[in-house]
Amino acid sequence: MKQPTTMEPSEIMRVNVSLVTTVVPLKGEIRQALAEGWREKTGWIVGHADDGVLWGTIVDGTIRMAVDFNVADATPLRGETLLDLRIFNHGAELRCFRDGGEITGVLVREKTYPNGEPAEFYATQQMEYALLQAESSNVGSFPDAESNPFGILRGRGGQLHTPPLVDGRLPTHLSVRHYFERLENGLLRMAEHRLLDLTTRTGDP
């Protein structure tokens, strides 16, 4: 996936949070393994396979991929071809990647410090990256969100994307939160980032 076009970042804020990571075993059939590793009722899915870009969503704990709705040229989710994948919402992110012949998962969550202890990380507010570019000659139909909640877009790098609709519209942005740590010289260094949401904006180029 080509490096997204960035938009103006929001103000860096000091927050009493740090990121906690947990290794999640992903064994057996890939869909069941991902659902058990995620354990959230909702989420967005984006990833890469040997044969294309993966898009999906989680509704009531059930994984729904574009290929399930017969979206033209949608990439299927298969354990043997999966390269990397992220499931995310505002509360957490499950990062999956191939490590040799196995798929490994890492669950990332924020840990809060209610008593105001110093935090290891500093966080921005929500920041949005332009991810997809709608080209009139390449955009698929806008399906009914009930019968087919996925659309077709062409990525800036030329890849075919089949993302889930957001409020009945094709999405164009991923919302990202960046985390910073303070160095000994007082400067802040970006240490981590986490996907939060899939969104759409009016007036995208």
Q: Can you read off the two tokens belonging to residue 131?
A: 């991810």
Query: pTM higher than 0.85 for the full model?
Result: no
pLDDT of residue 38: 95
d(CA 45, CA 28): 19
> Which residues have a Cβ under 8 Å from the Cβ of 155 and sit 6 or more positions away?
1, 2, 53, 131, 132, 133, 161
CA distance 19 to 7: 24
The confidence score (pLDDT) of residue 141 equals 46
> What's the pLDDT at 122?
63
Position 101 scores a pLDDT of: 81
What pLDDT does residue 33 have? 95
Q: pLDDT at position 76, please?
A: 95
Give domain limits for the chain. Answer: 5-199
% the chain with pLDDT above 70: 75
pLDDT given for residue 174 in this prediction: 84
Confidence at residue 130, expressed as pLDDT on a 0 to 100 scale:
56
Torsion on CA atoms 18, 21, 22, 25, rounded to nearest 10: 160
Residue 68's nearest CA partner among 57, 79, 60 is 57
pLDDT at 192: 84
Which residues in the chain come in under a pLDDT of 50?
1-9, 134-142, 203-205
